[in-house]
Amino acid sequence: MSAPAARAPEADDPPRLADLTASLLRHGRDVAADYALLAVLDARSAAVRFGWLVAAGLVAAVLVATSWLALVVAAVVALTGNGASWGAALGVAGAVNVLGAVGLVLWMRDRMRDLPFAATLRQLRGERPGSAPEISDEP
């Protein structure tokens, strides 16, 4: 007697659980790989856009600083043209710049009076929305 031959699957046989599981895992892996590729491509695109935005911001900052310097020089030249000495004209320009900087620092200090994430901290502490967060030096 000869050994029974391995039976080939017929077209009418239903798929086996092992085949379905393998197919599901293969398709799941393919979908995960597609999503990972999409995430990588989106991250690359976002990084390139961010780089362009930072570069444009730097160029804009240089242009604004150059414009401000041109305005200060124009004011100094106008003052000297009206008979003011160079020292007085430069002193006025410096004083205006210092006053502007002090005003900006005071505005920034006022903006920083509220703690970042104050509403989140209140929520985590269980405080009411109207109560001010307490700051203590104790850890």
* Within a domain: 23: yes
| Interval 88-128: pLDDT, tens | 999 999 999 999 999 999 999 888 877 677 778 888 888 88
Number of domains composing the chain: 1
* Within a domain: 106: yes
Residues whose CB falls within 8 Å of the CB of residue 86, separated by 6 or more in sequence, listed in order: 76, 80
* Within a domain: 36: yes
* Within a domain: 123: no
* pTM assigned to the model: 0.54
* Within a domain: 138: no
* Within a domain: 5: no
* Within a domain: 9: no
Return left, alpha or beta for 25; rule: phi > 0 is left, psi -120 to 50 is alpha, else beta: alpha
Domain that includes residue 22, residue range: 18-116
* Within a domain: 136: no
| Interval 42-88: pLDDT, tens | 999 999 999 999 999 999 999 999 999 999 999 999 999 999 999 99
